[in-house]
A and B are shown apart, each in its own frame.
Chain A
């Protein structure tokens, strides 16, 4: 399945892009996506981030589907 993934802040800097489409096996979860991305972008391994699925922070077991909007979010620093 094809997943749309958004990157923000220092994560966008590490991947050198703001979004992309990632191919992953149907039925994959957040953890599997994270592993694929850390493998693709080695410098993600040293960065702290959370994954949101449809604008909610999600745990690593959450299953993904192609309609999800996924984002990698570095630590928040508003205010």
Chain B
């Protein structure tokens, strides 16, 4: 069993945090392939108004349990060396990163497949709710496309 990790971070995920994560893996020399997914907030136009930011909230205890289950399932399904998931809570502006999923494996194919599986599972099963905020402070609630 891998130890349980906290996924949520307050605010956007910075590019330097991502660069640091990559650097930390340079000592793990059984790894031959990394694959990374970055979710970025889109400035969608909805009914003539442009999204400025998404304010994320979550049912945190359930979400952490789901993240844990998804991690365990992915590790049992794919031969990965390691896996990291970070998701923002609170306000993330358009253009900033709200989801960072990082998988590493000896070879590329496993990394590609595991990453897609992971991201789809997260979108489908983790109780996170995004409020899309417009410039005039009004908002709509985002719904993930299947």
Contact = CB atoms under 8 A, between A and B. Distances in A.
Nearest to A72: B59
A76 B119 contact: no
B99 A8 contact: no
B57 A76 contact: no
A13 B131 CA distance: 11
B126 A78 contact: yes
A71 B126 contact: no
A37 interface: no
A55 B65 CA distance: 8
A55 to B, nearest CB: 4
Nearest to B63: A78
Nearest to B67: A78
Contact of B144 (A9, A13, A73, A76): A76
A12 to B, nearest CB: 8
A49 to B, nearest CB: 11
A76 B65 contact: no
A52 B99 CA distance: 24
A78 B99 contact: yes
Contacts of B65: 55
Interface string B117-146: 001001111111111000000000111100
Interface of A: 6, 8-10, 13, 52, 55, 71, 73-79
16 contacts: A8-B129, A9-B57, A10-B129, A52-B59, A55-B65, A71-B62, A73-B127, A74-B129, A75-B141, A76-B124, A76-B128, A77-B141, A77-B142, A78-B58, A79-B123, A79-B128
9 closest Cβ pairs, A-B complex: A78-B128, A9-B129, A77-B142, A55-B62, A77-B130, A10-B141, A79-B39, A75-B143, A79-B99
